[in-house]
Amino acid sequence: MATALHPLSVYEPDTVPSAAPYRFAVVVSEWNTAITNALAQGCVDTLTKHGAETIKVFHVPGSFELSSAAGQLAARKAFDAIICLGCVIQGETRHFDFICEAVANGLTQVGIQYRLPVIFGVLTTQNQAQAEARSGGALGNKGVEAAVTAIKMAAFFEKA
């Protein structure tokens, strides 16, 4: 979680295992493309920085579709972690609440069903400025955080 004292992109690189042995799927929502592309770039750069050699990027229309895409990819058994990146910005209706809850629950269920790390890298912000701050702005990049989480969880699942 980003705060003024702890941006999303700040972590101790020495605490992150090598990503070289793991295969990563990155699923990116096309809704709010400027934000989600920045998240994807931060994610892929971080995976690469830590030695990942197998990174496949997939695009889906919106954040709601992240869960079904993650389920499809998990069923392939071709990845050690699936990172889902999206951005849902609060509007005037309850649509925001329904989408955020559905995506969070859906990704959780995919991870449990397939016993696979499925990483929630979805920004759920009140406005565009908050999204920009968390996708490479003043509060770092949630894509970096999602990549680090995926590497650590892939290593955990390997050892558990």
Which residues form the domain of 72?
A: 32-159
Q: Summarize pLDDT for 21-75 with one digit per residue, the tens.
A: 999 999 999 999 999 999 999 999 999 999 999 999 999 999 999 999 999 999 9
The CATH number of the domain holding residue 136 is 3.40.50.960
User: CA 131 to CA 124: how far, in whole Å?
Assistant: 8
Residue 27 lies in a domain: no
The answer to whether the beta carbons of residues 80 and 24 sit under 8 Å apart is yes
Domain count, the chain: 1
Active-site residue list: 95
H or E stretch covering 35: helix 33-49
Q: Summarize pLDDT for 75-89 with one digit per residue, the tens.
A: 999 999 999 999 999
User: CA 71 to CA 82: how far, in whole Å?
Assistant: 9
